[in-house]
Structure formats: structure tokens, C-alpha cells
């Protein structure tokens, strides 16, 4: 409890005390910020090292899996391979998505052929990629010059104790190395 000042000098002393306390708060805040910055820097460094290690492990697993893919998937009959310890590797294709090479030409073609399902009319014509990507529209969309569909193959690693890791398989990796036993 603070005593009520009895005169101007007592009031001035209390005001000086407030200043000292505020400066102490500022020093504490600065110390906290510096400690927090050091901790964040250390955590970022550790995170980078861990990410590098995880990437190296995933690279190794992917190399092994790709080398043994035909055997493990029975020449492509299965996409998912169960491994010991409630883990698995899998290969799957992403949904195909429309890729537009020359949007102006595509819009012109779509308007001329009255393919309204592929564009929306606002103040300007704009391609409706959601409609282009619908499977039910694929047959029509594939005929539009400038529209192609891109689909990627993905390699996946799962386990009860890890967050799923997925990677796009690059075309160059499709040439499979010899199986490693």
C-alpha cells in the first residue's frame, strides 16, 4: 500500500518512483524481447536442421520405394503398400486441373462456340476454371484450343506417428532405378 502524499515533495517523489518503475518495465520488456528473439532464432535453426534430416530420410525412402515399386505394387495393381509398424507408402494421381495457355484465345473460342458453362459473365468475360475442372465437363473442355489438363503423380508416406508427407514425382524419376534389396 502506498501512503497518500502529504505535500508537493512527497507527490514529486511518488512521480519519480513511477518513472523508475516504468523504466524497469521497459527494461524487462526489452530483456523478454531479446530472449524471445534468441529462442526463435535457435528454434528456427533447429527446425531447419530437422527439416533437412526429414528431407534426407524421405529421399532415401522414396529412392528405395521407387526402385522396388513394381514388386511392391504387383506391377501397378495396387497403389498403397503397407509396411511394418503401421506405416505405408503410396502412389496416386492428383485430380487433373485445367491449364490455360492463352486465356484471350480460349475466351474467344468459348464465346464463339457458346460454351457458357466455361465462363462467367460479370462486367467482363472470365474463364470459370471450376467449371473447366469438373469431370462432367472434361470431354467438352478438352476440345477447346488452349486448354489442356495437367495431372501429377504423388508419392506419399504415412504412419500412425507421423504427419503424412507427400511429394510430386518428377517425370525424370519415372525411369526407375534397379531394385535395391
Query: What is the bridge-based pairing of β-strands 153-159 and 87-93?
Result: antiparallel
pLDDT band at 17 (very low <50, low <70, confident <90, very high): very high
Residue 132, number of CB atoms within 10 A of its CB: 25
pLDDT at 173: 43
Average pLDDT over residues 106-130: 73
| Ramachandran area for residue 139 (φ above 0: left; ψ -120 to 50: alpha; else beta) | alpha
At residue 129 the predicted structure's pLDDT band, cuts being 50, 70 and 90, is confident
- Where are the chain's structural domains? 1-94+152-181, 97-149
Q: Which residue has the higher pLDDT, 139 or 152?
A: 152
DSSP string, 5-73: P-SHHHHHHHHHHHHHHHHHHHHHHHHHHHHHHHHHHHHHHHHHHHHHHHHHHHHHHHHHHHHTHHHHT
Q: How many CB atoms lie within 10 A of CB 89?
A: 24
What is the per-residue pLDDT for 179?
52
Q: What are phi and psi of 123, to 5 degrees?
A: -90, -20
User: 62-112, pLDDT tens digit by residue?
Assistant: 999 999 999 999 998 999 999 999 999 999 988 888 888 888 888 888 778
Confidence of residue 171 (pLDDT cuts 50, 70, 90): low
| Sign of the torsion angle spanned by Cα atoms 64, 68, 72, 77 | positive
Amino acid at each position: 500500500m502506498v501512503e497518500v502524499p502529504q505535500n508537493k515533495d512527497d507527490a514529486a517523489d511518488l512521480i519519480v518512483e513511477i518513472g523508475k518503475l516504468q523504466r524497469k518495465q521497459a527494461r524487462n520488456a526489452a530483456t523478454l524481447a531479446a530472449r524471445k528473439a534468441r529462442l526463435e532464432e535457435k528454434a528456427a535453426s533447429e527446425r531447419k536442421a530437422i527439416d533437412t534430416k526429414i528431407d534426407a530420410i524421405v529421399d532415401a525412402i522414396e529412392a528405395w520405394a521407387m526402385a522396388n515399386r513394381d514388386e511392391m505394387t504387383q506391377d501397378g495393381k495396387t497403389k498403397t503398400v503397407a509396411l511394418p509398424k503401421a506405416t505405408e507408402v503410396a502412389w496416386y494421381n492428383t485430380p487433373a486441373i485445367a491449364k490455360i495457355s492463352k486465356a484471350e484465345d480460349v475466351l474467344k473460342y468459348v464465346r464463339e462456340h457458346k460454351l457458357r458453362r466455361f465462363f462467367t459473365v460479370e462486367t467482363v468475360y472470365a474463364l470459370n476454371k471450376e467449371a473447366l475442372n469438373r469431370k462432367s465437363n472434361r470431354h467438352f473442355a478438352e476440345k477447346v484450343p488452349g486448354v489442356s489438363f495437367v495431372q501429377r503423380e504423388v508419392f506419399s508416406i504415412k504412419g500412425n506417428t507421423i504427419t503424412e508427407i507427400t511429394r510430386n514425382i518428377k517425370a525424370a524419376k519415372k525411369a526407375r532405378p534397379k531394385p535395391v534389396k
